[in-house]
Amino acid sequence: MAQVSKKQQHKANVAAMLAVVFVAMFALSFIGLVIMLNDMADKLDHEEQVTVGTEAPTDPFYVLLIGSDSRKGTALYTGKANEHAQVDQHSDVMTLMRIDPATYKITLVTIPRDTVLNGETNKINDSLSENDPERVVESIRKLTGADVNHYMLTTFISFENLINALGGVDVDVPKTIVVPDPATGKNVTVKAGKNKHLNGSQALVLARARKEYGDNGDIIRQANVRAIERSLINKMLDAKGNFDVYHVLSALEDDTKTSLDLSSMGLLMMEFVEHADEVKIYDCTGPYWGETRESDGLWVVPEDASTWSTLMAAVDAGEDPSGIVEMPKS
């Protein structure tokens, strides 16, 4: 294996760290670090040599972005097993992201959290109840038929910290909402308007609000999540972005997990930045129409295999899938 100089080594390590930023952008923060963090820190602090060999991916690939509803680390945490999301987690935000390095296309597909797979009784967001992201990945493979090999998971606190580290996000807010920030337990107001600049607390409130939108609350909430994702991607593509890589890295240090190789993601990030004017971002939702289940009174979204097949055929082909499942009228 070829060895690199101290200068090259530092450049390689910074690229690996930038990978965290790159993926975090794509992930709405729903995302992470933990894996490799200590190793990277050691390499920056010591003059040890690293080997050359990392390459950016060239084929399209899928990453499942998971937002946990765990209250741990927030002002709402009590540790009582009988209170919502105190011990067991739910994957309340799931975005299946397809990245095509050859065409610079990124596609974001919402997985409605109330979906129930055929032959099963639990909602798909219960897959995280044993705190194992791989179980969520397996459920999404069954639902979509996509070859999902990677995941990134984060929590409320990590998400909020990331948004702040990046200097906020700019998104359209469809309706003025007032929702408690889990970090503090205090109400936060986010006012309606076009291209509103939101800090971490406000972005988290927007990403969580659903009851405020009536019958179609969750699907509108997920549209808001995708809007934040788009804003983060575009911010990353701006090579002049005013944020500190090390600050972002620190923001993602806790409560995040990923199965991605951060070094290769760093190289891919640089490719996308260099071709920012060629990048296309598509987004859509999976089928979200549901019903109240008679056996327990829960609102569920039965698996719609036909619609998912049509939707994923377009996604796999790198086409714009946004009109396949129409958003609600209001």
Q: Give the domain range for residue 63.
A: 6-165+244-316
Q: How many domains does the chain have?
A: 1
Triad 300, 303, 304: Cα angle to 5°: 125
Examine residue 132 and state whether it is found in any structural domain, yes or no. yes
DSSP state of 300: E
Examine residue 307 and state whether it is found in any structural domain, yes or no. yes
Reported confidence tier of residue 256, pLDDT bands at 50, 70, 90:
low
Phi-psi region of 235 (alpha: psi -120 to 50; beta: other; left: phi over 0): alpha
Examine residue 160 and state whether it is found in any structural domain, yes or no. yes
Examine residue 192 and state whether it is found in any structural domain, yes or no. no
Please name the helix (run of DSSP H) or strand (run of DSSP E) that holds residue 153, with its range, or none.
strand 148-154
pLDDT more than 70, % of the chain: 71
For the chain, report the end-to-end CA distance as a whole number of angstroms: 59
Of residues 71 and 141, more confidently modeled: 141
Q: How far apart are CA 51 and CA 43, in angstroms?
A: 12
Examine residue 135 and state whether it is found in any structural domain, yes or no. yes
Q: What is the pLDDT of residue 121?
A: 92
Flag whether pLDDT at 9 surpasses 60: no
Rounded to two decimals, the pTM is: 0.80
Examine residue 231 and state whether it is found in any structural domain, yes or no. no
Helix (H, G, I), strand (E, B) or coil at 28: coil
For residue range 50-91, what is the model confidence (pLDDT) as tens digits? Answer: 334 568 889 999 999 887 766 566 655 565 655 555 456 667
Cross-strand partners of 258: 152
Q: What is the pLDDT of residue 233?
A: 85
Mean pLDDT on 233-256: 64
Examine residue 188 and state whether it is found in any structural domain, yes or no. no
3-state secondary structure labels for all residues of 193-230: EEEEEECHHHHHHHHHCCHHHHHHHHHHHHHHHHHHHH
Reported confidence tier of residue 7, pLDDT bands at 50, 70, 90:
very low
As a whole number, the mean pLDDT across the chain is 78
We report the CATH number of the domain holding residue 49 as 3.40.630.190
Examine residue 285 and state whether it is found in any structural domain, yes or no. yes
For residue range 178-231, what is the model confidence (pLDDT) as tens digits? Answer: 988 877 888 999 999 999 999 999 998 898 888 888 888 888 989 999 999 999
Mean pLDDT on 22-49: 37
Mean pLDDT on 311-330: 92
